[in-house]
């Protein structure tokens, strides 16, 4: 079996592109490809191949170490499917209904980690991890608990949300905004699929001849084939190309 050679993982570059001076083009480039790949696996708003119409794959181990990159071209690919689960849509399974949203949450945490330059919620153990999430989002209400199919009980003492700014002190407002629309308790309210991929947060990636910090074109990583799957983004891209051809920049 022969695979493309991708020499690095996202975990190796988080400190380079995140932290006190985030490289937003790189962050957007890698996170867009991640969410595009997760949408493909989860079949969220996409008709891909016949088998995917009846089934989808839940990776279940999305983290920077499992995201391979080719730093010169900027291509990202999801790796390590050792924990993946094949979910059948035809079965009356709770897992089919909720596992697709695990991907979105994991992707949001990766976006936060890339931006921060370190783990977004650095929990020391399970209990501390949960506390950090509740600190950011506040205590879930009854509706959110039902939506999450939560198996734990919360006390009557509610924690007010502090938001993501304390966790991402150097991040731009647009990063904070998109993360807080992805990382919400209710799975079906998480920004995902086409709506996420066509969000204005990623718009600068689709400018004609957009270059990365190393001088290479974004289009080396995000191709026209990728954009054609998302009509809204593709129409913006074509419109921008026409303006450029007419002399507008």
CB 26 within 8 A of CB 17: yes
**Residue 219 to residue 206: CA distance in whole angstroms:** 8
**DSSP string for 23-66:** -HHHHHHHHHHHHHHHHHHHTSS----HHHHHEEEE----SGGG
**Residue 219 to residue 118: CA distance in whole angstroms:** 28
CA separation (Å) from 102 to 41, 99, 212, 248? 12, 5, 30, 42
CB 192 within 8 A of CB 104: yes
**Residue 58 to residue 100: CA distance in whole angstroms:** 7
**Residue 62 to residue 70: CA distance in whole angstroms:** 18
Q: Which two tokens stand for residue 32?
A: 């867009």
**Residue 205 to residue 199: CA distance in whole angstroms:** 11
Q: Which residues are catalytic?
A: 61
């Amino acid at each position: 079996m022969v695979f493309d050679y991708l020499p690095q993982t996202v975990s190796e570059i988080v400190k380079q592109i995140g932290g006190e001076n985030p490289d937003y083009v790189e962050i957007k480039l890698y996170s867009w490809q991640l969410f595009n790949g997760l949408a493909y696996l989860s079949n969220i708003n996409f008709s891909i191949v016949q088998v995917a119409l009846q089934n989808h794959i839940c990776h279940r181990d999305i983290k920077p170490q499992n995201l391979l990159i080719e730093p010169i071209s900027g291509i990202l690919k999801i790796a390590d499917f050792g924990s993946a689960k094949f979910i059948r849509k035809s079965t009356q399974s709770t897992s089919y209904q909720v596992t697709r949203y695990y991907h979105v949450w994991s992707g949001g945490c990766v976006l936060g980690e890339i931006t921060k330059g370190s783990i977004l919620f650095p929990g020391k153990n399970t209990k501390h991890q949960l506390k950090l999430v509740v600190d950011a989002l506040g205590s879930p209400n009854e509706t959110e608990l039902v939506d999450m199919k939560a198996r734990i009980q919360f006390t009557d003492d509610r924690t007010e949300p502090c938001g993501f700014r304390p966790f991402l002190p150097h991040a731009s407002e647009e990063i904070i905004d998109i993360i807080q629309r992805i990382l919400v308790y209710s799975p079906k309210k998480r920004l995902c699929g086409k709506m996420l991929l066509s969000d204005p947060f990623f718009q600068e990636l689709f400018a004609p001849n957009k270059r990365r910090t190393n001088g290479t074109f974004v289009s080396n990583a995000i191709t026209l084939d990728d954009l054609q799957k998302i009509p809204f983004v593709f129409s913006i891209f074509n419109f921008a190309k026409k303006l450029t051809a007419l002399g507008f920049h």
